[in-house]
Amino acid sequence: MRPSGRAADEMRAITIETGFTKHAEGSCLISFGETRVLCTASVEEKVPPFLRGKGSGWVTGEYSMLPRATHTRGSREAAKGKQSGRTQEIQRLIGRSLRAVTDLEKLGERQITLDCDVLQADGGTRTASISGAWVALRLAVNKLMEAGAIKDDPLTAKIAAISCGIYQGTPVLDLDYIEDSNADADANFVLIEGGQIAEVQATAEGATYDEEGLLRLLRLARIGADRIFAAQDKATK
């Protein structure tokens, strides 16, 4: 029995409010239950040094938690003077995931930065970030296409991320904070519309798992991803 009363393969409510901030070329506030992340896409007409003059664009991600997004207040990384290993790991994952569905040449020599700022955390902040970042990216690319700056759509597919884990012996979908803190294994999947896998990060905590366990988690992840793709569709239509 899950603390929230959800079925093992039941996701939390997904809501996506687009246009949450007005300056960004694309933005949304995505919620997976009580987890809420503000995702913005910022277009800049320049690329990192290693890409200059190569006719290719770049997509990158940044991630942060507001100090009181969590149950107890965390220190502000800007005040500590550095980003934690966890933050950097998540930032790299966001960028890599979004690039997996972007044709960088079609994007042209420009960079889109996806900022994912967690306003409230209740488990699954990195997966909500990736899922929401895609919406912000889609909106920003739409704007570039409408303005004629880009001709062919550089986005090749939708992408969604979702966490699964083994909680009290049962594989469950979309862990909230209580489940996440007590899970025996914790996996994040980044899945592409159509069935392909972009990334798997599965970690045993306490207990380990076997091949069959991994596959069960993957199957749950597919169920969750379909729910997210539907919400993304609705938000960007």
| Torsion angles phi and psi, residue 43, rounded to 5 | -95, 130
Cβ 150 to a copy of itself, closest distance in Å? 19
Rounded CA separation 121/133 (Å): 16
Phi-psi region of 205 (alpha: psi -120 to 50; beta: other; left: phi over 0): beta
Residue 134 near residue 160, CB atoms below 8 Å? yes
Among 10, 214, 216, 223, binds a copy of itself (CB under 8 A): 214
Cβ 93 to a copy of itself, closest distance in Å? 9
Structure tokens at 89: 């790991």
Using the rule CB under 8 A, give the single segment among 51-59, 127-135, 208-216, 224-232 that binds a copy of itself.
208-216
Instruction: Output 197 or 234, the one with its CB closest to a copy of itself.
Output: 197
| Torsion angles phi and psi, residue 109, rounded to 5 | -75, 70
Instruction: Output 103 or 153, the one with its CB closest to a copy of itself.
Output: 103
Among 4, 56, 87, 142, binds a copy of itself (CB under 8 A): 87
Contact call for residue 78 and a copy of itself (CB under 8 A) = yes
DSSP 196: -
Would you list which residues are annotated within the binding site for phosphate?
Answer: 86, 124-126
DSSP, collapsed to helix, strand or coil, labels residue 44 as strand
Q: Output the CA torsion 202→235→43→144 (10° steps).
A: 130
Cβ 172 to a copy of itself, closest distance in Å? 18
Instruction: Output 19 or 234, the one with its CB closest to a copy of itself.
Output: 19
Rounded CA separation 30/58 (Å): 23
Residues recorded for the chain: 237
Residue 35 near residue 122, CB atoms below 8 Å? yes
Contact call for residue 8 and a copy of itself (CB under 8 A) = no
Using the structure block, give the residue that is written with the tokens 């929230």. Answer: 4
Cβ 129 to a copy of itself, closest distance in Å? 14
Task: Annotate each residue in 46-75 with x if it binds a copy of itself (CB under 8 A) or - if it does not, as one string.
Answer: ----------------x-x-xxxxxxxx--
Identity at 138, one-letter amino acid code: R
Contact call for residue 34 and a copy of itself (CB under 8 A) = yes
Contact call for residue 81 and a copy of itself (CB under 8 A) = yes
Residue numbers at the binding site for a copy of itself (CB under 8 A): 20-24, 27, 34, 36, 38, 40, 42, 44, 62, 64, 66-73, 76-89, 91-92, 96, 100, 113, 115, 117, 119-121, 187, 192, 195-204, 208-211, 213-215, 218
